[in-house]
Structure 1
Amino acid sequence: MFKKILIANRGEIACRVIKTARKMGIATVAVYSDADKDALHVEMADEAVHIGAAPAAQSYLLADRIIAACKATGAEAVHPGYGFLSERASFAQALKDAGIVFIGPNPGAIEAMGDKIESKKAAAAAEVSTVPGYLGVIEDAEHAAKIADEIGYPVMIKASAGGGGKGMRIAHSRAEVQDGFDRARSEAKSSFGDDRVFVEKFIVQPRHIEIQVLGDKHGNVVYLGERECSIQRRNQKVVEEAPSPLLDEATRRKMGEQAVALAKAVNYDSAGTVEFVAGQDRSFYFLEMNTRLQVEHPVTELVTGIDLVEQMIRVAAGEKLALRQEDVKLNGWAVESRVYAEDPYRGFLPSIGRLSRYRPPAEGVKNAVTVRNDTGVYEGGEISLYYDPMIAKLITHAPTREEAIEAQADALDAFAIDGIQHNIPFLASLMAHERWRAGRLSTGFIAEEYPDGFHATEPSPVLARRLAAVAAVIDNVGNARKRKISDQLAGRAVVFEHQRVVRLGELSLPCEVDRAAGGFIVTFLNEQGEPDGTHELRSGWQPGEPVWSGVFDDEAISVQVRPRLNGALLAHRGVAVDALVYTRREAELAALMPVKQQSGAGKQLLCPMPGLVVSIAVSEGQEVKAGEALAVVEAMKMENVLRAERDATVSKVLAKAGDSLAVDAVILEFA
């Protein structure tokens, strides 16, 4: 077994590999760029080597610097994680030539299956059912449009060396193909150093299901069940689960056996994933093979009890698989949510900055429910614009799908992040969505269920009362603390008014708050001032804590709390409310206060996220039509096209290609 390995990656996957290596008694070496000098993976590793500037092309994508770091530290093997160099046959070969073991498949297998175009050719030669498409070299946008016309719309334009949704576009018309082809090539070049793309038929209402395979260097290959990854946004997976609610045992076996046969055909010898697009009728087609560890591997680990990173290391060291196919059992259900640094209320635009607060839910096993949080960040750390926006992967496991989803919802409610925008409100909303809970999924789920984007939703009557009760209790605890701090009332018998009015937007909820043994009793009042429902709340919450965790009528709940004048911003189950708590007299006066009107946004194009200007498509004096492209801004490896919201004339151009802009920086002005 290896004594020391190097992890050629960063963030949560580097931390994940370090944890398993440490468990196996293997020393670890981290590599880092200028942007990652204070990163968590650098702190966790036994040694760390600086390899270059912040852009990945100047650090993490430089194979020679990884090899030099191995030689300098004596690392015997390299785990590539995912992304970056993980699917480069040339990197695996360079390591082999240098006498360093690649903890992944052999170069031949990567060459055969890692390239999306070549893998489809290999699958077709092996008589594996594939999605109709064009696998040859596409010369330009016009050539791509001609191919799409022949295949029939809609089509998918996809980077050959791609992954993670980068370099991918869905086009429903010739015009969209021509526009999407250029964007896909540009993203592919930026993310993978390879601008080749291919075009294939896009299956309507498809489901994305992948089979985890594991092979060794002795010809043994097994499959470890499937993962459903249909909840995607812009072709980027958001929520994954194992097993899939679509498959029955017969379909699972067929897909698994086909995946194993394909892996054996290319002498596959590590962890890998064979991906399929499946119809709602359980028909399926080979999509691609990812010759690396997947982001969503934890759900497979939790339902099988198999540490995939450990297996990769053992296989790379030449050990035979200790598993036979009959040994693989699927137990319970696992759900994973990807927590991203993005603003769900502003079209999921990337968000960067310092994590002023980062308090994930407690990990561990309780009452047959497992909570796991894979992360590469820490409180006080920075979210950089140079890399993927993932903050963490939150995974829950339970005996049933319903219990795993409920556990995920509870864990999301308890996950406190401040300093940047994040997608936890959206993820929490998803967990409560009726269609998601019913398992009626497709890769178009988010676009179909949130056609106008994600917006704040009004709480249901039941949820409104729950949040109002928590707000009233928080107000009571805060006032009690203020009285103790001032000490002005010592020795005086004072009766405090216990009636409050909680305002949630336009909704007013009068109530009475009374202390009881171990907690509070909140009684809501009707218009006549009569009791209209009583609730018991218990919690050890203290002012300043970001999450109110306690019991509401014998149900354990968590509510996000951010203090504000006369109340708090509360978030729970995907609903966020501005809860204002008044005395009766304060409520009467507040009702008389005029509402401040927001001024117009002005005649400007503002940068919606911190990012790098790729191009400006217009010039001063030019007339533009609604929907016309104005500029392209890149952030976190994704290119975002900014379009005109209405017809206008450009009066000033204040930014140029190459500029690094902050959020809301002015790019253009209109006459």
Structure 2
Amino acid sequence: MYPLQLRNVARFVRSSSARSLLPPNRSSTVLHIPLRAFSLYFNDRYDTKEPLFDKVLIANRGEIACRIIKTCKALGIKTVAVHSDIDSLSMHVQMADEAICIGTAQTADSYLRWERIIQACRDTGAQAVHPGYGFLSENTEFAAHLEKEKIAFVGPNSYAINALGDKIHSKELAVKAKVSTIPGYKGEVKDADHCVQLARDIGYPVMIKASAGGGGKGMRIARNDAETRDGYRLSQQEAKSSFGDDRMLIEKYIEEPRHIEIQLIGDKHGSAVYLNERECSIQRRNQKVIEEAPSPFVDPDLRRRMGEQAVSLAKAVGYDSAGTIEFLVDKHKNFYFLEMNTRLQVEHPITESITGVDIVYHMLRSAKGYPLRFKQSDIGITGWSFEARVYAEDPFKAFGLPSVGRLKVYKEPQNEAVGAVPSDGYVRCDTGISEGSEISLYYDPMICKLITVGRDRQHALNLLADSLDKYVIRGVTHNIPLLRDIVTEERFVKGDVNTAYLPTVYPEGFQGKKLTCEEKNLLGAVAGCIFLKDRLRDRRFLNSVQGSEHSYDESTHNLHVKGSGFEEAVVVNYEPKAGVFQVQIGGQKFTVSDTINLADNVVTVDVNGQKHILQLVNKSPVGKIDLQYMGSVFPLHVFREDVFKFLHLMPALKVADTSRQVLAPMPGLVKSIAVQIGSMVSEGMEVCVIEAMKMQNSLTAAVTGKVKKINFKPGETVGEQDVIVEIE
């Protein structure tokens, strides 16, 4: 048994070692997190005189633990955080009143150990447990043991979890309730051979998924027997690692539907209300990327029919907390029950934003036994909301392979127009990290949920694009380039989406923002101005040191800019009295404002009377300037004319041939090696499996040959681009 370590967070934060880790001007006794977002729940008024719980333990980590703690603090409820050893300085630990270490970094030895969490409740006197999402949130055994201990589970009762949280049982229940369901096998898949047999009976393509799964983990699409065997094996391993339950099911895969879900909440008195729908069709590897509420596809009649069906199914099992019923909807607005998530969803903030209901608050009320404070007619739709999931992952690799590292610079977009109701528009960031935090390979790589709310869909979308432009992340690879490109892509702007959106819009994978000639010239013009301003600043500094009154050269400067796919001559003339640069590049003329602060990460410049938001990602003394524009980073190089004429003498860089090496595409843990030294491998054959952020990734050989060397063993960790296997 890993020893339970209880400590008082306030006492820890007062220690000298902890103070050294806090940012400047931060309180040395407690870390205060602003609760501004809670004034935006316009349909909710907290009844602080209504007795709830004195102390709640949050059996989770990261952003969702922080989100739950915020509501508890607003209600005056004390909180207990549980954490693994490497999470000891995490934000959720700092925010809570108390914290307990429950194990090592491996989830199977910490966040999945329900007996340690129950012991933590005993040690701290916590009266209730909120499980968040993932981990133990849909674990029937955990909920049942809490009931025996007379500790409130802030979620549905154990019977409801078993009936609806389990995909196999929920589908059987839905069939009995005459809910439209997807064709498939009604029971548990026994093994890989059984899976192949069932897939043939159902007809390809099929979806293989974990019975206890969620969040896209433990799910694979298969289109033939070989993919079915691999999908069953990898999904089962993921399910065991993520949920401690490796039971699998199989059903027909409906191609190109919309993924629309209904949020509902019930109480212990037989009442249930649906809080409208969310559109969650933008996905990669069955994990959501961008969600919105309401859906641009759903009309009032479809919303009512889906909502009533969801409530009816929930009432059939006495569902008494927040939950989400997911549907697949075809182009004719036929909908099919997919599954129910018997927990708080990742994307719950966008529902809160358009309904004005604090879902966490009502989960706490329901767990205490209070009836719902509203009825169905009280729930409307105000404004429009988007959520973009900002992840530490590389969007140029399969739309997002995980990345790890430390956040060297981290600046969230600020709320610039916060009003009492969403019609004024606002920005909300739900996160569990801060500058200096480390994204580790053991947990989900989510950095933040960026939520925007506008008076209508386009307003909310404009706010999202603007917020992504201002979001500064350095130290880890992130998916903002993909998110930013999606929010201005023609099909997405029109609301013409389905679950095949990403591979359809980006058939060759995401390649970054495609600039027009005018946009390339604009970037070249700004880069030329940055280059010149840097030189002029250096000249001012030298003049001030030397005591010289000689003014710097204000004449025309001839430069050259090289970038991805273009090379242009640039003429830059600086007019200090007017505060502008006059630039000529590629046959275009630009007037660029002299508002570029070379010390800032985010640069806002006025170009020909129009404001543009860029990020100065990198700047070197030799003229290399990396600019982030519309989400993507563009490496540019600015040369003086006398230097540029000698560039043709420089030898071209040789590209290394890595086809005979199996490289780790991301940091991770080697789960298995399928070959031995001397083994023959063929192109496309599986060589090893890497686990990263609880996802199983099969690596294959790119060529046919004999295995020359194996550099890692199962159980060892690898870094990105590490050579795992070498082939002769």
TM-score over 0.5 (shorter chain)? yes
Q: Find out whether 1:657 has 2:714 as its counterpart.
A: yes
Match of 2:560 in 1: 501
Which residue pairs with 2:572 in the alignment? Answer: 512
1:127-170 deviations in Å (ceiling 9; x for gaps): 11100010212211111111111111111001000001111000
Aligned ranges for residues 140-179 of structure 1 at < 5 Å? 140-179=191-230
Out of 224, 231, 243, the residue aligned to residue 180 of structure 1 is: 231
Q: 2:581·2:594 contact (CA, 8 Å) conserved in 1?
A: no
Counterpart among 631, 649, 654 of residue 688 in structure 2: 631
Q: Residues 517 and 21 (structure 1 numbering): CA distance in 2 closer, same or farther, change over 3 Å?
A: farther
Q: How far has the Cα of 1:366 moved from its partner?
A: 5.2
Is it true that 1:491 corresponds to 2:546 in the alignment? no
Give the structure 1 partner of residue 324 of structure 2: 273
Post-superposition CA distance 1:359-417 (Å, at most 9, x none): 11113535933111111111111111111111111111112222222221111111111
Decide whether aligned partners of structure 1 residues 654 and 593 sit closer, same or farther in structure 2, where only a CA change above 3 A counts.
closer
Corresponding position of 2:85: 34
Q: Contact (CA 8 Å) 1:472, 1:513: kept in 2 or not?
A: no
CA deviation vs aligned residue, 1:162-218 (integer Å, no higher than 9, x gap): 001111000111221112111111111111111111000111211110000011122
Q: Aligned ranges for residues 605-624 of structure 1 at < 5 Å?
A: 605-624=662-681
Matched-pair contact (CA < 8 Å) for 2:529–2:572 = no
Is the counterpart of residue 445 in structure 1 residue 496 in structure 2?
no
| Number of the residue aligned with 1:67 | 118
- Per the alignment, in what secondary structure is the counterpart of residue 133 of structure 1? coil
Residues 612 and 658 in structure 1, CA contact (< 8 A), matched pair in contact too: yes
1:405 aligns with 2:461: yes
> Match of 1:111?
162
Query: Are 2:252 and 1:194 aligned?
Result: no
CA contact (8 A) 2:660 2:703 kept: no
**Residue of structure 2 in register with 1:220 after alignment:** 271
Q: 1:620 Cα deviation (Å)?
A: 1.7
CA distance in 2, matches of 1:108, 1:262: 14
Deviation by residue 1:531-556 (Cα, 9 ceiling, x = unmatched): x33334363x4223222134444444
Q: Which amino acid aligns with 1:560?
A: Q
* 1:562 paired to 2:617: yes
Aligned: 1:6 with 2:61:
no
Runs (5+) with no aligned partner, structure 1: none
Does residue 544 in structure 1 map to residue 599 in structure 2? yes
* Distance verdict in 2 for CA 1:42–1:352, change over 3 Å: same
From the superposition, tell whether residues 336 and 187 of structure 1 become closer, same or farther in structure 2 (CA, over 3 Å). Answer: same
Q: Give the equivalent residue in structure 1 for 2:528.
A: 472
Does 457-466 or 120-129 show the bigger shift?
Answer: 457-466
Question: Is this contact kept in 1: 2:674–2:687, CA < 8 A?
Answer: yes
Aligned 8 A contact 2:711 2:723 in 1 = yes
Q: How far 1:591 moved relative to its partner?
A: 5.4
Distance 1:498 1:575 in 2: 31
- After the TM superposition, which of the residue ranges 106-115 and 346-355 deviates more from structure 2? 346-355
Select 2:473's aligned residue among 417, 438, 452.
417
Report the Cα distance in structure 2 between the residues aligned to 1:621 and 1:228, rounded to whole angstroms.
Answer: 51
Q: Which residue of 2 aligns with 1:523?
A: 583
> Hey, what's the Cα distance between the residues in 2 that align with 1:88 and 1:533?
63
Name the aligned partner's letter for residue 601 of structure 1.
Answer: T
Residue aligned with 2:89, SS: coil
* Structure 2 spans left out of the alignment, 5+ residues: 1-51
1:549 counterpart letter in structure 2: T
Tell me the SS of whatever aligns to 1:258.
helix
Aligned counterparts of 2:123 and 2:540: Cα–Cα separation in 1? 60
Among 277, 282, 289, the residue aligned to 1:238: 289
Contact 2:426 2:454 in 1 (8 A): yes
Match of 1:426 in 2: 482
Change (3 A) 1:247 1:602: closer
Deviates more, 1:583-592 or 1:117-126: 583-592
Distance 1:509 1:265, change over 3 A: farther
Could you tell me how far 1:242 is from its partner in structure 2?
Answer: 0.7
Match of 2:176 among 107, 125, 130: 125
Aligned residue in 2 for 1:640:
697
* C-alpha spacing 1:515/1:22, structure 2 compared with 1 (3 Å): farther
Classify the secondary structure of the residue corresponding to 2:150: coil
Q: Which of the residues 397, 404, 407 maps onto 1:352?
A: 404
SS class of match (1:144) = helix
The one-letter amino acid of 1:629's match is E
- 2:16 aligns with none
Q: Secondary structure of 1:454's partner?
A: coil
**Cα distance 1:522–1:70, how it changes in 2: closer, same or farther (>3 A)?**
farther
Amino acid at match of 1:192: F
Separation of aligned partners in 1, 2:653 and 2:316: 68
Is 2:511 aligned against 1:455?
A: yes
Letter in 2 for 1:361: P
Please give the secondary structure, in 2, of the residue aligned with 1:432. Answer: coil
Q: Is contact 2:555–2:574 with CA below 8 Å preserved after alignment? A: no
Moved more, 497-506 or 260-269: 497-506
Distance 2:554 2:126 in 1: 68
8 Å CA contact retained: 2:382, 2:455: yes
- Please give the alpha-carbon distance, in whole angstroms, between the structure 1 residues aligned to 2:347 and 2:575: 46
Distance in 2, Cα, partners of 1:123 & 1:586: 72
Instruction: Give, in whole Å, the separation in 1 of the partners of 2:527 and 2:387.
Output: 30
CA distance in 1, matches of 2:568, 2:103: 57
Report the 3-state secondary structure (helix = DSSP H, G, I; strand = E; otherwise coil) of the residue aligned with 2:249. Answer: strand
What is the CA deviation profile of residues 217-242 of structure 1, one whole-angstrom value per residue up to 9, with x for unaligned ones? 22221111100111110111111111
Structure 2 residue 357 is the aligned partner of structure 1 residue 306: yes
Please tell me whether the aligned partners of residues 223 and 325 of structure 1 are also in contact (alpha carbons under 8 angstroms).
yes
Distance 1:45 1:262, change over 3 A: same
Q: SS of the counterpart of 1:263?
A: helix
Measure, in 2, the Cα distance between the counterparts of 1:345 and 1:238: 15
SS of equivalent residue, structure 2 residue 126? coil
| Amino acid in the other structure paired with 1:660 | T
Q: 1:28 to 1:533 in 2, by over 3 A?
A: same
Secondary structure, counterpart of 1:477 in structure 2: helix
- 1 CA distance for matches of 2:578 and 2:380? 45
Aligned pair in 2 of structure 1 residues 538, 482: CA closer, same or farther (>3 Å)?
closer
Q: What corresponds to 2:415 in structure 1?
A: 363
Which of 373, 383, 396 is the matching residue for 2:439? 383
C-alpha separation in 1, matches of 2:571 and 2:648: 17
**Structure 1, residues 406-460: CA drift from partner, whole Å, max 9, x if none?**
2211111111111111111111121222121121111111122223322234421
Structure 1 residue 295 corresponds to structure 2 residue 346: yes
Aligned to 2:37: none
1:49 is aligned to 100
Cα distance in structure 2, aligned partners of 1:517 and 1:406? 34
Is the Cα contact below 8 Å between 2:677 and 2:708 reproduced in 1?
yes
Give 3-state SS (helix, strand or coil) of 1:346's partner.
coil
- Secondary structure at the counterpart of residue 442 of structure 2: coil
Across the two proteins, how many residue pairs are aligned to each other?
Answer: 666
Offset of 1:518 from its aligned partner? 7.8
Q: Which amino acid aligns with 1:427?
A: L
Hey, what does 1:257 align to over in structure 2?
308
Contact 1:277 1:284 in 2 (8 A): yes
